[in-house]
Structure 1
Amino acid sequence: MPLHRQTEMVGSSYSFCHVYISFLLVAMLLLLGPYSAYSSDQKVTVSLYYETLCPYCANFIVNSLVKVFEKGLISIVDLRLIPWGNGWIQSDGSLSCQHGPDECLLNAIEACAINVYPDVNRHFRFVYCIERLTLEGRHNEWGSCFGEAKMGSSPVDCYNKGNGYMLERKFAGETARLNPPRRFVPWVVVDGQALQEDFQNFVSYICRAYRGSQIPEACTSLPSTIDSFEENSENSVCYAGELNNSTSFRH
């Protein structure tokens, strides 16, 4: 075969391969597009610092924070729950909680659930259940939440092995490093910005902080600016330093 003919065939094959590879790349981008739009580096980090038996934390979780799971908002949110709140560590290493030993127990149990079941869709159901019982004055029935959340007893095993205590020490350290310092709970931080008294307006802050292109329905109907807020009454949060049947706890 003449050399020029061989050269034409090689060039033709190269062009075909180039076109085919380009086609595959475009197809992959089209297929991955909807998923890559919600990549973790574009998600807005929302951290809630709370304590399990503060009624205002329970009310916020049950009646407000649950909105994260509505209208597609969770697709752009990395939700973190930190159950420590206004607790403190005694000089002997024991933990004290603002609302007594039951709160220390439930803080540790929820910490274990979050650790054992890192998928927020799973552990939030458990946390939601306990906080709903708190609002109803039935927090001692927290054991029923394992069934309601379709969760095994692994969080209890975690607690019994002392891991709950260690997780609480970790959360205590994270809470102590907050800047500005936490003054009360619930304390909400959106992408590093403490919302302070404006925590009920967290959805607007999430939507404003989001930099991706796939806007969830939860954000499309919100105003482009965050309106001024009315400060919460002094009884709508649990302030640090207030004592309410606090008791030391050590596992």
Structure 2
Amino acid sequence: MLHKNPSQLHKMACKKLLLMFSLLVSLLLLLSISPCATENVTVSVYYETLCPYCADFIVNHLVKLFQNGLISIVNLRMIPWGNAFIQSDGNFACQHGPDECLLNTIEACTVAVYPDVVKHFNFIYCVEHLTLQRKQAEWMSCFDTARLSEVPINCYKNGYGKQLEQNYATETGQLNPPHRFVPWVVVNNQPLQEDFMNFASYVCKAYRGTKLPQACRSLSKSENLPKNSDSTNSVCYAGEDT
């Protein structure tokens, strides 16, 4: 049997230690880039297109996600169904009439055709801005404004949009607790209810990644505290006639 001298044994031990150290470093790197460490916060917005309070929330508040960098840690989901319901004949009845059913479906189609959040949000923002100006009849101009094709119109005409809306109806109907009004905002399965205007604080609190946006670091203590919002005349209630 050949016997290794002490220097050879020392070299072998060093190689083993180096290998173990390399494996440990690799494991730490994998952990640092794991989905759990960098998972974005899911923000789901349940709304209807012709509710003026939904339009105000989208145009003047939700848009800040894109302006302050919070969108980098957010998976934004827009669900245009709101307080609508499906009638016994299978047709939709919307709180603000047939035009709202049309625009709900067009926006649902735009989300499906253009899954990139920046693209479909630009279109939704445009339509909701027109709603605030009471110019929603000009909604087709938003395809040019958002630099998108009119493919979502085909989606509406061929019936796929109706299927999308039926899916949104099911999802909205399964909310727990049930939504009482729109806009109804849910952050990582936590319904904000009347405190929906304070959504940015909830996003920052829910984020568990390492790349915290400046917008979160700059939130004041008062902004990080839950607020008792007065929802009177600021939402469209389910079952309410318009």
Same fold (TM over 0.5): yes
Q: 1:92-131: CA deviations, max 9, x gaps?
A: 1110000000000000000000001111111000000000
- Match status 1:182 vs 2:179: yes
Query: Deviations 1:144-163 (Å, cap 9, x if unpaired)?
Result: 00011010111111111111
The whole-number CA distance in structure 1 between the counterparts of 2:121 and 2:33 is: 25
Output the CA distance in 1 between the equivalents of 2:36 and 2:173: 34
1:35 CA drift (Å): 10
State the partner residue of 1:100. 97
Aligned partners of 1:238, 1:86: CA distance in 2, in Å? 8
Aligned residues: 240
- Residues 1:130 and 1:168: Cα distance change in structure 2 (over 3 Å): same
Distance in 1 (alpha carbons) for counterparts of 2:113 and 2:177: 30
Give 4+ residue runs of structure 1 displaced > 4 Å after superposition: 33-38
Q: Is the 8 A contact 2:198 2:226 kept in 1?
A: no
Describe how 1:36-55 pairs up with structure 2 within 5 A.
Answer: 39-40=38-39, 43-55=40-52
With over 3 angstroms needed to count, the CA separation of the structure-2 counterparts of 1:92 and 1:36, relative to structure 1, is: closer
The equivalent residue for 2:109 is 112
Equivalent in the alignment of 1:248: none
What's the % identity of the aligned pairs?
Answer: 58
Residue among 233, 236, 240 paired with 2:234: 236
Please identify, of 153-162 and 122-131, the stretch whose mean Cα deviation from structure 2 is larger: 153-162
SS in 1 for 2:163: helix
SS of residue matched to 2:140: helix
Residues 38, 76 of structure 1: 8 Å contact kept: no
Structure 2 residue runs of 5 or longer lacking an equivalent are none
TM-score, normalised via structure 1 length: 0.83
Which letter does structure 2 place at the counterpart of 1:98? Q
C-alpha displacement of 1:39: 3.9
Equivalent position of 2:120 in the other structure: 123
Asked if 1 retains the 8 angstrom alpha-carbon contact of 2:106 and 2:152, the reply is: yes
Q: Deviations over 1:68-106 (max 9, x none)?
A: 112220111000000000000001111000000000000
CA–CA separation in structure 2 for the residues paired with 1:35 and 1:70: 27
Distance in 2 separating the partners of 1:186 and 1:59: 10
Determine if contact 2:198/2:227 at 8 Å carries over to the other structure: no
Q: CA deviation at 1:238?
A: 0.3
Distance (whole Å) between structure 2 residues aligned to residue 236 and residue 109 of structure 1 = 25
Q: TM-score, normalised by structure 2?
A: 0.86
Counterparts in 2 of 1:78 and 1:38: CA distance versus 1, 3 Å: farther
